[in-house]
Chains A and B, each alone.
Chain A
Amino acid sequence: MQQIIRFIEKYRYFLLFLILEFVALFFTIQSHSYHKSKFINSANAVTGGFYKRVNNINEFFHLKSENERLAKENARLKNSLLIENHTTDTTNQFLRYKYITAKVYNNNYTKRNNYLTINKGLSDGVDAEMAVVNSRGIIGTTNSVSGNYATVISILNNYSLINAKLKNNNHFGTLSWDGKSYKTVQLNDIPRQAIFKIGDTIVTGGKSTIFPEGILIGTVKDFEQNRLINISLFNDMSALGNIQVITNLHKAEIQQLEATNNE
């Protein structure tokens, strides 16, 4: 006993170091696994509050370009209203997706695993694993959610795997990021028989319960022999302002159905 106490006393700083290092590594490993709820994230009141203050100033500098983008989106939506039949009877149409507008408070795009902080949380109906987009296309999926803030796993993240397809022929694959340029992402697992060329549009596949089908991603930039396709994104991930979070109203139903199938 005496010996143990003397040992602890002699190596107390080393032991403290070991314990704290283990705690840090535990948090790191936990952050690498996708589904666990995380303790260390920026969706809490303190960090969210700080980012909110800074964003109030920062937002001002991007007003012009952001307004331009929103005006373009408005025009596009009005045009699509003109094309569609105005007298559609909406009583027998299902509302499948609901859009919630939000603002990006903090945006990373230079790390290996990038996250965004947005200003909507549980009290606004935002929950984990919801799609995040803007008018130019895909941004990511929500991850940790607090009362008033949420973090978003950007598509520029090692743990972001999104179902995507070629717009013209429905062959689908998985979207991932190699960590190099924030303008380019990669599409894997496209079947051998799929025909595509440089410049083809890639959109989300709608095979998951998170993303609706047909959200814009980017165009084929180049591809290698082993069918790894580089995609140049439509979205400028370095300048994000107003975004939308998409709620899938049928998600619970689909998941319940799939759960009974698995039994």
Chain B
Amino acid sequence: MNNLVIKNTVLFVVLVLVQVLILNNINLFQYLNPYIYIVFVIFYPLRKEKGSFLFLSFLLGLAIDFFSNSGGINAAATLFIAYIRLSLLSKILNKTDFDFQTFNIRSISLGKSFSFILILTFIHHLILFGLEYFSFNSIETIFTKTLLSTLFTTATIFIVIILFTKKN
């Protein structure tokens, strides 16, 4: 338990720093950035009690907002995907009861974990860019940015998962 707290605290801090100090400055093709910090939502252990998880996700988004002067858009988007995580997972895996203690993103098949991450990332980015532009005039920009960034983020998240987690 204690080990888990330390691990997630370190993950939280590292993700914030990596995101704001390195990844926000990548600017691929001049405007694409991967938002890797949402792996927190993917990695955080599944529990029946999800109050602390929701609160931590909110805080993570808010921390990113503090650094990038973006109001509360990251907080809103991250909180939303944190809230739908469990129901989305049970939809994708087609079951309602989980082995909460041992569940791990590497323990499900590659295709299923891919669609899980892709959908979460897409929803997160859509909320993020929707709130950032906040106008129907720029709906085209919102969708292009969402789609391209989703591809970029998903690819980077997969690299992170392969590099930093052990296969069961």
Contacts and interface: CB of A to CB of B under 8 A. Distances in A.
Interface of A: 12-14, 16-17, 20-21, 23-32, 38, 40-42, 44, 46-47, 50-51, 54, 106, 108-113, 115, 117, 151, 179-180, 182, 238
B41 interface: no
A50 B61 CA distance: 17
Nearest to B138: A179
A25 B134 contact: no
B27 A40 contact: no
B75 interface: yes
Contacts of B55: 16, 20
B79 A113 contact: no
Going nearest first, the 5 A-B pairs with the smallest beta carbon separation are: A31-B71, A27-B72, A24-B72, A24-B76, A115-B69
A28 B76 contact: yes
B108 to A, nearest CB: 23
Interface of B: 17, 20-21, 24, 27, 30-31, 33, 50-51, 54-55, 58, 61-62, 65-73, 75-76, 79-80, 83, 131-134, 138, 141
Nearest to B26: A110
Contacts of A29: 71
A110 B71 contact: no
A108 B68 contact: yes
Contacts of A110: 27, 30-31, 33
A13 B72 contact: no
Given A16-B55, A20-B54, A182-B30, A113 B132 contact: yes
Contacts of B27: 109-110, 238
A113 to B, nearest CB: 7
Contacts of B83: 13-14, 17
Contacts of B80: 21
A28 B130 CA distance: 12
B132 to A, nearest CB: 5
Contacts of B70: 28, 31, 40, 111, 113
**Best-surrounded residue of B24, B79, B141 (most CB of chain A within 10 A):** B79
B142 to A, nearest CB: 9
Contacts of A41: 66, 69
Contact of B66 (A44, A54, A113): A44
A28 B72 contact: yes
A24 B58 contact: yes
Given A30-B71, A108-B69, 17 more contacts: A13-B50, A13-B54, A13-B83, A16-B51, A16-B54, A21-B79, A23-B72, A24-B73, A27-B75, A47-B67, A50-B20, A110-B27, A110-B30, A113-B70, A115-B68, A115-B69, A117-B69
22 contacts: A14-B83, A23-B75, A24-B61, A24-B62, A24-B76, A24-B79, A25-B131, A27-B65, A28-B72, A28-B73, A40-B69, A40-B72, A42-B67, A50-B17, A108-B69, A110-B30, A115-B68, A115-B69, A117-B69, A179-B138, A179-B141, A238-B27
Nearest to A23: B72
Contacts of B69: 31, 40-42, 108, 113, 115, 117, 151
A229 to B, nearest CB: 19
A40 B79 contact: no
Contacts of B133: 112, 179
Nearest to A151: B69
A53 to B, nearest CB: 9
Given A21-B79, A41-B69, A108-B68, A28 B54 contact: no
Nearest to A54: B21
A81 to B, nearest CB: 39
A35 B42 CA distance: 38
Contact of B65 (A12, A17, A32, A40): A40
